[in-house]
Amino acid sequence: MTRIVEAPQKVSPTVAQQVFTVGSAIAGGLAGFVLAKNLAGVKEVPVPPLVVATLVSAIFTFGAAVMLARSLEKE
């Protein structure tokens, strides 16, 4: 017999924070694997792309958190 389970529409604030953090950590871990593979054998890394990539990563991560926080209904 097939059982259909509906995903919850709301979760507690602590669960929401954990989900966001785990998702960000998984993305960071995958990015680490990609970087490790591509940086292997490279003798030097140019600073400008490193700085830009770091800023983009930080801004988008922080921006996503701010977007989520602003979308919440305050009681």
Residue 63, domain member (yes or no): yes
- DSSP letter at 71 equals T
In the chain, which ranges are continuous DSSP H helix? 13-39, 47-70
Q: Which domain holds residue 75?
A: 45-75
Q: How many angstroms separate the CA atoms of 11 and 17, rounded?
A: 10
| Closest by CA position to 54, among listed 65, 41, 45 | 45
DSSP 8-class letter at 40 = T
Q: Is residue 73 part of a domain?
A: yes
Model pTM above 0.85: no
Residue 57 belongs to a domain: yes
Residue 34 domain flag? no
Tell me if 15 is assigned to some domain. Answer: no
Average pLDDT of the residues of the chain: 93
pLDDT in tens, 3-19: 888 888 899 999 999 99
Cα distance between residue 16 and residue 71, in whole Å: 13
Number of domains in the chain: 1
> Do 24 and 61 contact (CB within 8 A), yes or no?
yes
Domain presence at residue 66: yes
* Residue 25 included in any domain: no
